[in-house]
């Protein structure tokens, strides 16, 4: 049985910015050259990748990669 994870504050912030920009996680992943599933898992806190978090923050012009 899989353990449910809660979206971290950073992921919530990313999702909010994506909504403001009318951009999907699929579009974000394509624009960054990453797999959609991987991007979704990192945003939702299921997988960890500081490199991808930093890349997303730079792309979306976010100033904080913590959490």
Residue 9's pLDDT is 93
Query: Which residues lie below 8 Å from residue 9, measured CB to CB, with a gap of 6+?
Result: 67
Decide if 32 contacts 56 (C-beta within 8 A).
yes
Superfamily name with CATH number, domain 9-60: lambda repressor-like DNA-binding domains (1.10.260.40)
Entry pTM: 0.86
- pLDDT tens sequence for the chain (67 residues): 556 678 999 999 999 999 999 999 999 999 999 999 999 999 999 999 999 999 999 999 998 666 5
Task: Check residue 67 and give its pLDDT.
Answer: 54
- Cα gap 50→27, rounded to integer Å: 20
Measure the CA–CA gap between 65 and 57, rounded to whole angstroms: 7
Instruction: Return d(Cα 6, Cα 67) in angstroms, integer.
Output: 12
pLDDT of residue 5: 72
């Amino acid at each position: 049985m899989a353990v449910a994870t809660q979206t971290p504050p950073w992921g919530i912030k990313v999702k909010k910015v994506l909504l403001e920009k009318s951009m999907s996680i699929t579009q974000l992943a394509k624009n960054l050259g990453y797999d959609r599933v991987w991007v979704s898992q990192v945003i939702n806190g299921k997988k960890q990748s500081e490199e991808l978090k930093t890349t997303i923050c730079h792309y979306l012009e976010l100033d904080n990669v913590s959490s």
